[in-house]
Amino acid sequence: MSGVNEAPQRMALSVVRSAPRRPGLLKRARIAKPALLLALLFAIGILGYRLIEGAGWWDAFYMTAITVTTVGYREVFPLSHAGQLFTVVLLGVGLGLILLVATEIGRTVLEGELREMFGMVRRSRMIERMSRHQIVCGWGRMGQAVVAELRNRNHSVVVVERNAEKVQRLRELEIPVVAGDASLEATLRAAGVERAHGLVSCLNDDAHNVYTVLTARSLNAALFIVARASEEGAEERIRRAGANRAVNPYQLGGMRLAHLLVKPSVVDFLDFSLGTVSRDLRLEEVVLGPASPLDGRTLAEVDLRRKSGVGVVAIQRGQTLIPNPEPDMRLAAGDTLIVLGTHKQLEECETVMSRT
């Protein structure tokens, strides 16, 4: 088995590798071509004056410069008819190339500003149309792994990041991003926190995570919030701030390493069922709504194993988790069934539950 963070990192890397070419490279290439032609024209002008008029290197360069730039100073040396004709051609071609370079520079600047402006409007409208999406605050190593996993699961994700370079990188990857401080109300509103399903705060320090959780909870009471905790005792502070879950990655990583030593098969099964190794067999949650036809029926009566092939591993009822429930356990609206099955079996399970 691999280490605790390898699979998410692989997924994050796959996203990075699939990034499109940077627009800045195309801009530079577009300006470079006419600039190179202009430099070539200078070289031709210098050699032309050397060969036609026998001018020295410096005089040939100076004559080329004042001709191409149309400055209009006096001639550096007397010109023959051939030299005058050469000067006229050099002047026309040079003027055209200078205008071309100036046009490309102006267009690049203008297009860049317009593209950025329209891009901001488009991204803002895209986020405004989102609902039941996930918000990830902080795009460090942990945030990248979270975003990669959520996108692999086909969840809509908005990232909140204050680092300008990371914001630019996210835009290049076409990942919706809001630039700003995640602990500020205006930033979270821009990320659509009132319409979001969940929020993950994985900022670098616990204080910012606490402030982010407090602000998010005040804006959306139904939001499911998970936050990173680094220091000892920080989990309790983050939960008191309003987080549903607080995770210490160092403690979690240590526990996983220990479990790999003493019960590797259990860890293999969990990785397999969570989709870390295989995308086929998965553990999923199924919530029984208020009008669910399963309300008041026992697991034996529903018989999901025979009808769809999934197994009910546990039931979450309020704050109580009931593992390995008995067949005669009666279901109730609001229960969350934790079921295990293949993708096809899970789809069949949803069908069975809707018509049972």
pLDDT, position 49: 85
Mean pLDDT by groups of 10 residues along the chain of 356 residues: 41 40 55 79 88 88 84 78 86 82 73 58 80 96 94 93 93 91 95 96 94 97 95 91 93 89 87 69 86 88 90 91 92 91 87 75
Give dist(CA 17, CA 173) in Å, integer: 10
Strand order in the sheet with 245-247: 177-179, 157-161, 134-137, 198-201, 224-228, 245-247
pLDDT, tens digit (0-9, with 9 covering 90-100), for 115-171: 655 566 666 788 889 999 999 999 999 999 999 999 988 899 999 999 999 998 998
Domain range 23-125, CATH class: mainly alpha
- 72 CB burial (10 A radius; 0-12, 13-18, 19+): exposed
Same fold, 23-125 and 130-247: no
Give dist(CA 44, CA 223) in Å, integer: 69
Domain boundaries, the chain: 23-125, 130-247, 281-355
pLDDT, position 15: 39
pLDDT, position 278: 59
SS3 at position 315: strand
User: ∠ CA(171), CA(140), CA(246), 5° rounding?
Assistant: 120
SS3 at position 320: strand
pLDDT, position 27: 55
pLDDT, position 337: 93
Instruction: Please report where in the chains the tokens 């390898």 appear, as a residue.
Output: 6
What topology is assigned to 130-247 in CATH? Rossmann fold (3.40.50)
Of the chain, the end-to-end C-alpha distance in Å amounts to 40
Domain range 281-355, CATH class: alpha beta
Cβ contact 242:214 at 8 Å: yes
pTM: 0.60
